[in-house]
Amino acid sequence: MKALLAKLGEKFLAFHKGQTQGFSRPEFWVARVAQMVWIVWRSFRQDLLRTQAAALTYSTLISMVPLLVMGLALLRGLGYGETIMNWVNTQVATLPPDFQTVAQVALDTANQADFAKLGGIGGVILLVLVIQVISRVEHSFNSVWGVRNPRRLVQKFSHYISIMVVVPILLVAATTITAQMKLTQSVFESLGILKLIPFFSVWLAMAFLNLYLPNTKVLPLPAIVSGFFSAVLWLGWFRFYMTVQPGVARYNILYGTLASVPIFLVWLYFSWLLVLIGAKFTYAWQNTGPGMLEEGNVDIAPRTFYLCCRAILKRTESLFQEGKGELVSISDFGEWPIGVVHASTQFLIDHDYLHRIDDGEASGFVLAHPWREQDAQPLAQLIWHSGLNPDAHSAARIPESALVWDQEFSRLVPTQTRAEDQVASST
Q: How does pLDDT run across 318-357, given as a tens digit for each residue? A: 887 777 666 787 767 767 777 788 788 888 888 888 888 7
Backbone angles phi, psi at 263, to 5 degrees: -65, -45
Residues 371 and 235 in one domain: no
Of 287, 306, 331, the residue at which a domain comes to its end is: 287
> What is the count of structural domains for the chain?
3
Residues 6+ apart with CB under 8 A from 343: 295, 296, 298, 300, 305
The pLDDT of residue 225 is 92
Identify whether residues 263 and 351 lie together within a single domain: no
pLDDT at 367: 87
Among the candidates 265, 287, 309, a domain finishes at 287
Do 231 and 167 sit in the same domain of this protein? yes
- Residue 355 pairs in a beta bridge with 366
Same domain, 300 and 282: no
Query: So what's the pLDDT on residue 246?
Result: 61
Q: Are residues 167 and 77 in the same domain?
A: yes
Q: Are 208 and 202 in contact (CB under 8 A)?
A: no
What pLDDT is attached to residue 423? 39
Give the per-residue pLDDT at 416: 44
Residue at a domain's end among 258, 287, 316:
287
281 and 357 in a single domain? The answer is no
79 and 212 co-located in one domain: yes
311 and 258 part of one domain: no
Question: How confident is the model at residue 410, as a pLDDT?
Answer: 83
Ranges in the chain, pLDDT < 50:
175, 179, 188, 295-297, 395, 416, 418-427
Question: For residues 333-355, b (16+ Cβ closer than 10 Å) or e, as one string?
Answer: bbbbbbbbbbbbbebbeeeebbe
- Residues 416 and 421: their CA atoms lie apart, in Å, by 9
Regarding whether 420 and 304 lie in a shared domain, the answer is: yes
Range of the domain at 173: 48-287
Same domain, residue pair 230 and 252: yes
Residues 370 and 406 in one domain: yes
Which pLDDT score is estimated for 171?
55
Residues 330, 228 share a domain: no
